[in-house]
Structure 1
């Protein structure tokens, strides 16, 4: 198994999606959801009002018969779905805030969570901006230990197409994920979780009355959605639990940073801010970082030295080995 198998599954997903897209006259993403549902239904083609046409049904069945999910790992299935969703983003011209978190960033979030959070074997995770699920599922696939009970995760999103893609992707990977279609700034129906992760959309939140119930709301005008989402995520994370958030590197340079910093100081410990590798971004202004927060609690304390810096290039294996050693040392010296 390996990249060839990922490519093979992606080829089947893309071919069948393209067939459905044309015959049903729908978007690529909607066709991808439909073909995934067919695969999950044992390769049976859903027919409604005579569509898809018989010739297309035959072509679809031929493709589905060649798919062997049982021979693939969950992460290989995730990677193939990711490639198909990337194709859909280009085909359907998806807006930037709805674009999927790249594998490279997902891997680094998963690495930090695994290295720092000391999660129990029955850990639960929350992603309040789950989108198509790639960040959350990258983390789950890295944390899941063979022969242990499946980790439980919760995802929230207000875009029904993205959530439907996240749903079929989770089912194809046989992940234990509960997804909720709602505004993540409203009262959530998820329980308290062990840790939160999110690749936060950047922009303003339009419902000022709801934002006013958050400590991070703006004094005047609309509030930053990413500030509210950070606060919301930590509300639903247990005492002493961690949150790992992909944010703009310049998050503390904005006019609203004062309110965010005041809330963070009162409610959490800011344990780190690590810039993601510069090579992942088109410009310095576009660069992002991973913000590491920990809720206050009996077993938690403020790190003596906040973790600041930048990840080495992912191509620099020696540099990354040094980084992992330094991170382990930092944890030993700074976290309770």
Structure 2
């Protein structure tokens, strides 16, 4: 069976549990990723003389398995990895972690046990045949681990990883198209673990030729492993300081130039001049100005500009300060703008990155565009522009970091590549306007993304009524619900209403129910599902077959759903898109990966959960069984039993529900009686030693000894209730076991058409529709909340409040007077 992504991720993260305590995440990542690499290349290339990686005898993961519980396991693992590294020119790449380090792994038996468990976790994974066409399960798992390692490594040690969501944006806006050839080059001078380079390469139909450099030794090793795990073994990654000693040079000893460059350099590097004299730079990177000695942000941008071909394009992540800081940076910025190199700027939310919490931006460079723009404007600024996006508001909280959602990525990329101008989000800004602002590129100067201030109406507070201007501000709702507006606002019978103001006609607490019950809302909700139903027919999910690409599938069907809701009333197409993408990440992705490898027959599979001999509680599978039959535990591969029950055994489930209701009633009756008679003065406490728990056994024992008639009556009633509860529980258990067995026997009887219907209709589409209905109600909830807020804000004008205060004051005074307390002012 295909291994599911979420199951793989869970197993990999469990391996980290074995290493926590002796070291932090910035260290144990090297051990886990090395073990993942060893398992992957062994499963994929062992015995393959033509494989990208040669696995000689004695260097496979099978040889690591033989070391379990060996007293010298650490030293022997090091030797096996060293041999594999030597054979494949991977010294300094896969042999960075020391598996015999007592300071990190413990001494003696502690090290043996820890490494034995670590090997055991990877032993249970089969990574030999889990690459669907166009997808990379191991690459994605590596990405998953890198994110978690960066999260746990802390502020000062997480710079090795650029969040995948940000990497996707750079890759999609840098200018790579479906026509980009495989021999086109992409370069990252500060490549970290290589995620940016891989994301960029994936945008080209057949990939790109990858070049990178990374100063940190361990991180450059991660990048090399990352390339191999992503099937890019020919990628070229150098170690070393890019600024002081760039490795990529041409025959004339000048900087090698590339077609594309993507980068996330260290922010505000204070030591960028180490080993480098900017005034005597051999590569002439500072012709547009020299960055400040204590801030190297522009240094990397200038290096990238010099490293691009005359038609080259780049995308670089830099702190927001580069957009507006003065002095030397202002001069560089002015020169780059005049040259037309900056095509666009994308402002990102704060707290996205693991090395810092400050907000960053993406500078998009296009040398080819710059040449044309300068030529067409004959050297002037006229007609030239920079496209700006303020995406600072689109994110979700994820632990202690912010994270871009799928819809945020899609919106940024779509708007940028199409040059769409959206209110409070994006704008094409002329260079003339920028020049008038002294070449300051601070995005808020050009795009106001702030929400309009919610101002109170003083006159309404004084004289009553709800301002029509506040009601009119909800016009996008009233265009859809004109009659609902008339239901909520207007003139109350017998009360005058001032010009420009209305009365609230529905109590604040009843606003939502009034909206949901209105026919206009029901019609809207029905219309809002029509694009979804049309999408169902369009995507034909039952036609998924072996060999399909899951990533191509989700891209295609998500774009179709996005298009379907492009002109939907009130609903955001991006919110609907997010519903699909969230379900993809949670469930649909795993299901599709299984289907494209094992086909629809996998819907019949019930996998028995069997404990591996020698498995401990710390590394035992934590999967929850779906069915337990004759004490054997089973996990459904694709179809949860609840779907089988709903389709074929609804009557049996209803009978169980009725039995469960009877059991609940019996249990409640017993508990109530025990509480009543088991209190301080209860007869059961007197009859049974109050230090003992009142149980059926203790009641039975006391009944045999009791002589008092009243006491006997209480004891017999307790026994009756205990018996009734036990009988009810047994009835439920018996019925449930019978249903479970019927479901178990139903799986092998399922036809392929039945499986498709159960998975697609009952599982996928039902869930998606439920979530879209919830989104429809959420949108109307926004309207209801605002209406309720206005109702409550202006429900009691000042004269009413004053009179209420006076009335209450009089009541208090009268009460005090009646009590003999009275005073005069």
TM-score by length of 2: 0.35
CA distance in 2 between counterparts of 1:226 and 1:97 reads 18
Q: For residues 171-190 of structure 1, what are the structure 2 equivalents within 5 Å? A: 171-175=228-232, 176-190=234-248
CA distance in 2 between counterparts of 1:97 and 1:210 reads 29
> 1:163-195 deviations in whole A, cap 9, x for unaligned?
111111111111242111010113423242111
* 1:68 match: secondary structure: coil
**Contact 2:314–2:364 under 8 Å retained in 1:** yes
**Matched residue, 2:274:** 207
CA distance in 1 between counterparts of 2:15 and 2:353 reads 32
1:113 aligns with 2:182: no
CA distance in 1 between counterparts of 2:364 and 2:156 reads 27
1:196 CA displacement: 0.4
**Contact 1:20–1:35 under 8 Å retained in 2:** no
* 1:242 match: secondary structure: strand
**Contact 1:117–1:242 under 8 Å retained in 2:** no
1:159 aligns with 2:232: no
> 1:109-153 deviations in whole A, cap 9, x for unaligned?
112124689744421100111111222222222x142xx3x4211
CA distance in 2 between counterparts of 1:298 and 1:231 reads 15
| Residue number among 302, 318, 329 corresponding to 1:231 in the alignment | 302
1:66 aligns with 2:125: yes
- Going from structure 1 to structure 2, the CA distance change for 1:210 and 1:223 (only over 3 Å counts) comes to farther
Query: Comparing 119-128 with 309-318, which one deviates more in the overlay?
Result: 309-318
More helix per residue: 1 or 2? 2
- Going from structure 1 to structure 2, the CA distance change for 1:116 and 1:254 (only over 3 Å counts) comes to farther
More strand per residue: 1 or 2? 1
* 2:39 match: secondary structure: helix
Query: Comparing 306-315 with 178-187, which one deviates more in the overlay?
Result: 306-315
> 1:248-303 deviations in whole A, cap 9, x for unaligned?
22312223322422552576621111212568589xx8221110112268964357
**Matched residue, 2:39:** 39
- Going from structure 1 to structure 2, the CA distance change for 1:217 and 1:318 (only over 3 Å counts) comes to closer
1:57 CA displacement: 4.3
- Going from structure 1 to structure 2, the CA distance change for 1:166 and 1:158 (only over 3 Å counts) comes to same
> Which structure has the bigger radius of gyration?
2
- Going from structure 1 to structure 2, the CA distance change for 1:298 and 1:111 (only over 3 Å counts) comes to closer
CA distance in 2 between counterparts of 1:168 and 1:84 reads 13
| Residue number among 241, 257, 266 corresponding to 2:329 in the alignment | 257
| Residue number among 375, 379, 385 corresponding to 1:305 in the alignment | 385
**Matched residue, 1:84:** 145
CA distance in 2 between counterparts of 1:252 and 1:318 reads 22
1:192 aligns with 2:257: yes
- Going from structure 1 to structure 2, the CA distance change for 1:279 and 1:226 (only over 3 Å counts) comes to closer
**Contact 2:348–2:390 under 8 Å retained in 1:** yes
**Contact 2:177–2:204 under 8 Å retained in 1:** no
CA distance in 2 between counterparts of 1:80 and 1:233 reads 30
**Matched residue, 1:27:** 27
Aligned length: 324
1:288 aligns with 2:329: no
**Contact 2:291–2:298 under 8 Å retained in 1:** no
CA distance in 2 between counterparts of 1:254 and 1:290 reads 16
* 2:4 match: secondary structure: helix
- Going from structure 1 to structure 2, the CA distance change for 1:236 and 1:64 (only over 3 Å counts) comes to farther
**Contact 1:129–1:156 under 8 Å retained in 2:** yes
**Contact 1:245–1:292 under 8 Å retained in 2:** yes
CA distance in 1 between counterparts of 2:414 and 2:240 reads 37
- Unmatched 5+ stretches in structure 2: 43-60, 68-72, 78-98, 100-110, 249-255, 375-382, 395-403, 421-427, 430-825
**Contact 1:28–1:91 under 8 Å retained in 2:** no
* 1:224 match: secondary structure: coil
* 2:169 match: secondary structure: helix
- Unmatched 5+ stretches in structure 1: none
- Going from structure 1 to structure 2, the CA distance change for 1:6 and 1:318 (only over 3 Å counts) comes to closer
CA distance in 2 between counterparts of 1:182 and 1:11 reads 35
- Going from structure 1 to structure 2, the CA distance change for 1:70 and 1:263 (only over 3 Å counts) comes to farther
CA distance in 1 between counterparts of 2:296 and 2:179 reads 29
Query: Comparing 125-134 with 321-330, which one deviates more in the overlay?
Result: 321-330
Q: Higher relative contact order by CA 8 Å / sep ≥ 6: 1 or 2?
A: 1
| Residue number among 184, 193, 203 corresponding to 1:132 in the alignment | 193
| Residue number among 290, 293, 312 corresponding to 1:217 in the alignment | 290
- Going from structure 1 to structure 2, the CA distance change for 1:201 and 1:117 (only over 3 Å counts) comes to farther
**Matched residue, 1:5:** 4
CA distance in 2 between counterparts of 1:223 and 1:69 reads 50
TM-score by length of 1: 0.78
CA distance in 2 between counterparts of 1:88 and 1:59 reads 17
CA distance in 2 between counterparts of 1:115 and 1:88 reads 30
Query: Comparing 273-282 with 175-184, which one deviates more in the overlay?
Result: 273-282
